[in-house]
Amino acid sequence: MIDNQNFLWRCDRAWLLDGFIDQASLSIARLFMRSHLRTFVECDRTTKNTVKSIAGWFVRYGLVQVVRSPIS
């Protein structure tokens, strides 16, 4: 799930499946945001738009690699 510089989020139609793919990714996101952003956001309690904004921010700065997952 986690490789040296990126952690992987599986995406389907621009929506994060299960918000975050696993607890490790959520923990990394929380740690990163606590360290680098003024306002700490509880990722797993936020609205989908805020989650998508956070994901977009990570992608924009090259911190997250996004892949499409098959539609079930």
How do the pLDDT tens digits run along the chain, 72 residues long? 443 333 333 333 233 434 444 455 556 666 655 555 444 344 444 455 555 566 666 666 655 554 444 444
**What does the chain look like in DSSP terms, one character per residue?**
-B-SS-EEEEEETTEETTSSSSHHHHHHHHHHHHHH-SS---GGGS-HHHHHHHHHHHHHTTSEEEEE----
Backbone angles phi, psi at 68, to 5 degrees: -85, 140
- 8 Å CB contact between 18 and 69: no
Polymer length in residues for the chain: 72
Question: Domain residue spans in the chain?
Answer: 7-68
